[in-house]
Amino acid sequence: MKPQATAATAARNAGLSFQSGETPRPDARRPLDLVHLSKYTLGNRALEIELLGLFRAQAGIYIERIESAVTAIDWKNATHSLKGSAKGLGAWPLAALAEEAEWMAVDGEGRDEILTRLRDAVAAVNSFIDSVVDA
């Protein structure tokens, strides 16, 4: 097998877009940037798996806190925490959505819609985590 083909296969398996002659880059279609995660953990696979597991455990708690937020500070704290966790892993779409939610009023128009979108985004990240960890 050619080295270029091997690099392309490895890049695809790591969640990267890679064309012959190009530098690997994150694949925007994926809910999690594995390049960022690998850089963040200095390539330590065991640490990556640990962080992914922690996110999976915490994300549901953040969603519950967002859903049950009564005050603006409760809402802001919960959405901010979800945003920070998502950014740490490289879950950029979820982080952007959590940031959008962070600036909404707790009883603001669009609350139900953004909650649905947050739940869906967390589910997408968790599903992707399952596929990566089980691979």
Q: Where do the domains of the chain lie, and which CATH numbers do they carry? A: 1-30 (no CATH), 31-133 (1.20.120.160)
pLDDT digits (tens, 9 = 90+) for 56-110: 999 999 999 999 999 999 999 999 999 999 999 999 999 999 999 998 877 778 8
Q: Distances from the Cα of 3 to the Cαs of 13, 31, 39, 120, in angstroms?
A: 15, 28, 23, 38
Model confidence, pTM:
0.77
Structure confidence by residue, pLDDT tens digits, 107-122 = 778 899 999 999 999 9
User: Using an 8 Å Cβ cutoff, are 62 and 85 in contact?
Assistant: yes
What are the tens digits of pLDDT across the range 26-52? Answer: 566 799 999 999 999 999 999 999 999
How many Å from the N-terminal Cα to the C-terminal Cα in the chain?
22
pLDDT at 10: 42
Whether residue 6 is predicted with pLDDT greater than 80 in this model: the reply is no
